[in-house]
Chain A
Amino acid sequence: MSYHEATYDEPSIFTFRSGTTYKVPGSVTDSDIDLPQELIRKHLDLPEVSEYDVVRHYTRLSQMNYSVDLGIYPLGSCTMKFNPKYADKIAGMEQFYDVHPLQLASTVQGQLRIMYELQEFLKELSDMDAVTLQPLAGAQGEYTGMLIVRKYFEVKGELNSRTEVIVPDSAHGTNPASAAMAGFNVVEIPSAEDGTVDLEALKAAISEHTAAFMITNPNTLGIFEDHIGEIARLVHEAGALLYYDGANFNGILGITSPGLMGFDIVHFNLHKTFATPHGSGGPGAGPVGVKANLAEFLPVPIIGKDGDKYFLDYSPKHTVGKVSSYMGSFMVLLRAWAYIRFHGSDGLRRNTINAVMNTNYLKKKLENKFKIPYKSLKKHELVLSTENTGKKALDIAKYLIDNGVHAPTIYFPLIVHEAMMIEPTETVSRMDLDRFAEIFLESADVPEEELKKHPVNLPIGRPDDVKAARDLKVRWFPEK
């Protein structure tokens, strides 16, 4: 297949001069503004562009983009699955989006019902006892979880001694960052030879200073941590809490759950597992679930139900307070609700099985040429190393994108050299998996100097990142 992404030498919107065509109702003039002159803005250097030009400009820019609607987007730990169109349609209902967050509960029973049902769905899927929908992204969910850990030990009178959060060296970068932001010292432990948590290293790290251990299961190598029972026992015996990073939930949803495995706190990435669109980087949503003994620490409000009435529940006694402006990213929550309703218990489980099948299928195809370290059986993702082919992960990524598929996550997890982390998800056909694998395998045989020339079918060749960081041109300026 030949491939070429749309390419425009698109000028900055700030150079357009077609003149505004937008009409604002009303007829105010400067003389209506009875404020002291020093408060008044003298100039605002934004372009005057006609609406047709604005739409054409951003439509052209949109075409210089790869997206899930174009094909496989196998970024590991990102779960870029197909975003269903019925969810778009529901999110486009005015009765849902034209609602103000300060409205009385009696006027927003529809919103509250959606949120209440989503809380219940997430509780059931994770086997946790209470859920907050307030965090606005996965990392914010982690942060909320860490605030709950703080508050839990504060109430117990142990905050001064519980200063450490342990993370494996294969953890997502947000884990140590969230723990540090909440004021904990981060202790990193190495992985064992099979790619799972090294129990001896964990035992050595754990102490009366441990506040929490944060892990994801399956881990970032796509491997299920089968010692999770022992891990939970060790953590709990030390009086610490076990935190579940839900980024990899798609590998186990409906088969097992964080609650069954002994986790105390979990965050969900609705923009991953529950297929809400990632919007070129956001918005996401990162609800947090906890076991019953931590429910009193959740941010407020949570959504309660009394008979057939829904209400904003401010009762959690030791609430951490608030982590975002309002009740959460409602339009994202709504789409996740729709996804869960559509797929139901049977479909959600089926999706997990298909996702894991697809991963193992790709693994078996790709291991013909690439080294795939650690345990063989994978869940939602696999991590290979390009080292044995003598090729750089970066070069192979550029070859892939030049052939019309998105590249995997590269150089992560940090414990694998020349890592490529591949998560196909369930929403890719075998035909597309085959094509992806074919390009991938082909890349191993392309001479290195050839590989380095890619990409050539995209609007730009390889960018100069060093110059970007050195010159720091982070906004448009008029040409001198």
Chain B
Amino acid sequence: MQSNLEKQEIAKFLNISDEMALFSDIPAQYRKKEIRIQEGVSEYEVLEQARRIASLNSSAGMVNFLGNGIYKRIVPASVDSIIGRSEFLTAYTPYQAEMSQGVLQSLFEYQTFMSELTGMDASNSSMYDGFTTLGEAVRMAHRINERRDILIPENMFDDKLKVINSYLSGLSVRLLTYRVDQVTGFIDLNDIQSKVSKDTSAIVVEMPNSYGIIDENVLKVSQIKGDALLIAYVDPVSLGMLLPPGDYGADIVAAEGQQLGIHMNYGGPGLGILTFRKDYIRKSPGRIIGETVDNKGKKAYVMTLQTREQHIRREKATSNICTNQALMAIASAVYLGVVGPTGLKKIAQTTYVNSRKLKNKLSSLKAAGVPQLTGKPFSDVLIKFRTDVSQLQEFLAEKGINGGVPLQKLAAAPILIRNSAFFTATETTQENETDQLVSIMEVFR
């Protein structure tokens, strides 16, 4: 029985002498006999254990050249400070709008940031992560036009494809791949054109694409897509300098927003960004914040269009999503607020310039003495080598560097670029780090 005085009073109030009387409705054969987990420990001990386990990670002293979706970028201290505030951190979904105006306005601002950044009319208030958002985007396209075929680039990463496939379970939808040129790294417009038909629901483009290339052909897809929908999967930081997808005809935009003020977090939590043309808002998944007025005419924010959602529409909902990534959405709003448009542009430009330097240095290595993709990388640099690269990441890790992920580990590696590996630059990449990488790579055969 409880030693806690209040709990003893509660037991007395409930007229029970044994607190287990509260579980008398659980038949004896289902009672758990023991819990084979250690007994509880103090705060001091749990912190010590966590520190000891954290020290098993060897990454702290390592130089990072990994990317391909999650990036080591500068996270302004203000972002951690704001999302660490318990008023945001420990609140639930804003079901009671009157006592949650702060989070509602923050998410409304997030929606505005994302609409502007992607050049689209509207945004929801967040999805889980990049890949699941692309999965939902494809479902959304199918919901809009009920057509069968989704065209995707042949170089899309396996894991992204697997998540899309998961999201398409049970739908009569077919994924068709279109070619990517192995000399430029650009998508093949002729091949897309030959595959577009009256059954095409949507064409998925990536910008930069999965080879890391800023793809000039992506801008031209809207001219050949007919009335299929265009879904763009973009790098949100690149939009600080690159044409937004709204300007090249995208109907739906999906992105991983981790780069906008969120630490790498071993891949989670990240942020799923979903924006779209306003015509499709009622077909969209997820929570949307709308502006309205209160009973005295004062500006107010609420969750709106909830009749699309699972708690009301149940099996007819546009998605099952309930919990989303609200806190990470707030992080990205704070991030964009702090860095501003000139800051984001400079971060994008610095990334671009650093990745160009990285490409120049690495491609002058003896081991890389083969023609490289002519398309220009934004951040992820794919380098072709003369030799097998399947153990390159291990080779570098032993020397204190994270990087050199073989293409074949992430996606199908066609013959011309079979022996290729990724090295990623961001605004945090230092010249001496790049030099260190290059000097280590000089002995790689």
Contacts and interface: CB of A to CB of B under 8 A. Distances in A.
A18 B256 CA distance: 29
Given A103-B402, A346-B40, A150 B169 contact: yes
| Leading 6 A-B pairs by shortest Cβ distance | A183-B170, A326-B267, A279-B327, A101-B267, A344-B40, A281-B326
Contact of A323 (B31, B85, B166): B166
A56 to B, nearest CB: 10
Interface stretch (B148-156, B177-185, B304-312): B304-312
Interface residues of B, number: 189
B113 to A, nearest CB: 7
B443 interface: no
Nearest to A180: B315
Contacts of B214: 35, 39
B54 A86 contact: no
Interface string A292-330: 000000010000000000000000000011111111111
Contact of B334 (A58, A90, A143, A340): A58
Interface stretch (B20-28, B192-200, B434-442): B20-28
Given A322-B166, A409-B95, 5 more contacts: A24-B350, A49-B338, A100-B70, A324-B268, A468-B290
Contacts of A72: none
A150 B76 CA distance: 44
Given A177-B320, A348-B35, A38 B219 contact: yes
Contacts of B76: 22, 51
B314 A460 contact: no
Given A46-B344, A61-B105, A460-B97, A261 B323 contact: no
Contacts of A412: 311
Contacts of A406: 92, 96, 99
Interface in A1-38: 5, 10, 12-14, 20, 22, 24-26, 28-30, 32-36, 38
Interface in A140-190: 140, 142-143, 147, 150, 172-174, 176-184, 186
B16 to A, nearest CB: 9
A63 B106 CA distance: 12
Contacts, number: 634
A346 B39 contact: yes
Nearest to A257: B32
A352 B106 CA distance: 35
B174 to A, nearest CB: 15
A177 B90 contact: no
A480 interface: no
B286 to A, nearest CB: 10
Interface string A116-146: 0000010011010000000011111011000
Nearest to B157: A325
Interface in B176-233: 214, 216, 219
Contact of A401 (B6, B86, B96): B96
Nearest to B15: A364
Interface string B54-77: 111111101010101110101010
Given A178-B320, A279-B89, A468 B291 contact: yes
